[in-house]
Amino acid sequence: MDLNETTIKEEVSNLVSNFQKLLPKKKNIITLDAPKQKMIRLADMHAEAKSVFPICFTGAKVVILREVMNRVKLVQQYNYGRTKETYKAFTHLLYKEMESKTVDEGLLVDSAGSATATYTEDLEGGYTMHLTSKIRDLICSESEIVFDRENQKSVASIACSMRDVDPNTLRLVTQWVYKVMPEFSFGSEVSFRPMMYPPLPEVSVTARYERSSFTLSSTVSKAGFQACLYKQFSPDLRISTIVNEDVQDGRTTIGLGLHKKYQNGSELKVFVDSQKSGGFTFQKDVLFYEPHNEIRVLRLIGSTLIDKQRRVRFGFGFELDF
């Protein structure tokens, strides 16, 4: 078989074309930013400030989110080395904080064998019921049912969760937020375990002051105190400062985060804190153009982490969402 320049170009072109067919079409793929909502919920009181901070990891990872059929999604995550979140610049003081509140109904299956089913129904009186059931294996499970009600001035919810069908893990959580003024919101959370003795409740109080260019929020609870300042300088540049005091450790940590977007679709997130730790993540969408005006995308993510011992570690991965 004779090999010439034309034959080599055709083979390479076919290889690239076959690779592009495996990539997802361009759309809003996996995002780390908190979605805007018409009425802020308690678990989202610090969402803008905390979404500025990067989620640093080490090693290598591959995350694939694919819709197999209607209302059924498959999440595949492959880790190489010690790929995990190795450092947190802040803690979560509120129940289900920073978790997505807009989960679509259906079944979500991941590569670890876990299955999560979500069901939502609107009830009379303006109430909404969210039922979530997660099965990790034959003996590990987690179920949660949430009732919430939202109006123009307030939003309230009651959540009941249990793990492994064990009554001792039963937990009740009530959250409530009231908008005192268009710029100022006040909320509280009460959580307790009925089967524990004594069933002492854990109470958290949160306040949020919001303007068009900055947001100031704080939370006081038994676990500690937290204050967040979020500032957006331009559509492509925002920073935040988080002051976190942990009652158990008895120390205060100040962290500074920066999020920069570039015109080519790249994003850079950087953080440093008073514990002499820091790190950043850089992500870029690589676009592949097809002849029929279709665009396919591959998201690349790089991570660097500097820990308290001044060790520098790196991570790399990519994400696909079909």
How does pLDDT run across 114-130, given as a tens digit for each residue?
A: 788 888 888 888 888 88
Query: Do residues 175 and 193 lie in contact, with contact meaning Cβ atoms separated by under 8 Å?
Result: no
Cα–Cα distance, 85 to 99 (Å, whole number): 16
Task: Please give the Cα distance from 179 to 153 (Å, whole number).
Answer: 5
108 vs 196: CA distance, rounded Å: 32
Would the pLDDT of 104 be above 90?
Answer: no
The answer to whether the CB of 156 falls within 8 A of the CB of 168 is no
> Hey, what's the torsion of the CAs at 305, 306, 312, 315, to 10 degrees?
0
Residue 141 pLDDT > 50? yes
Average pLDDT over residues 167-196: 92
pTM for the model:
0.80
pLDDT grade, residue 199 (50/70/90)? confident
pLDDT at position 18 over 90: no
Instruction: Check residue 112 and give its pLDDT.
Output: 67
Higher-confidence residue of 53 and 91: namely 53
Mean pLDDT on 192-214: 89
CA distance 308 to 312: 10
Res 82: pLDDT:
60
> 45: which 2 tokens?
């009181």
Using alpha carbons only, what angle is made at residue 185 by residues 183 and 191, rounded to the nearest 5 degrees?
Answer: 165
CA pair distance 250, 223, nearest whole angstrom? 10
* pLDDT top residue among 255 and 293: 255
- Higher-scoring residue by pLDDT: 227, 13: 227
For residue 13, the model assigns a pLDDT of 63
**Greatest mean pLDDT among 21-25, 30-34, 316-320:** 316-320
Kindly tell me if the per-residue pLDDT of 212 is higher than 90: no
- Interval 185-199 mean pLDDT: 89
Residue 53 has pLDDT above 50, yes or no: yes
pLDDT recorded at residue 238: 96
- Arithmetic mean of pLDDT, 170-181: 94
Is pLDDT at 208 greater than 60 in this prediction? yes
Label residue 294 exposed, middle or buried (CB < 10 Å: 0-12, 13-18, 19+): exposed
What is the predicted pLDDT for the residue at 32? 41
Indicate the pLDDT class of residue 100, thresholds 50, 70 and 90.
low
Residue 258 pairs in a beta bridge with 239, 270
User: Is the model more confident about 249 or about 284?
Assistant: 284
- Under DSSP, the state recorded for 17 is H
Please name which of 287, 283, 309, 312 lies closest in space to residue 297, comparing C-alpha atoms.
287
Q: How far apart are CA 277 and CA 98, in angstroms?
A: 22
Spatial neighbors of 97 by CB under 8 A, at least 6 apart, are 43, 44, 46
pLDDT of 28 strictly over 60 = no
Interatomic CA distance for residues 259 and 239, integer angstroms: 6
- The confidence band for 36, taking pLDDT boundaries of 50, 70 and 90, is very low
Beta bridge partners of 60: 80, 316
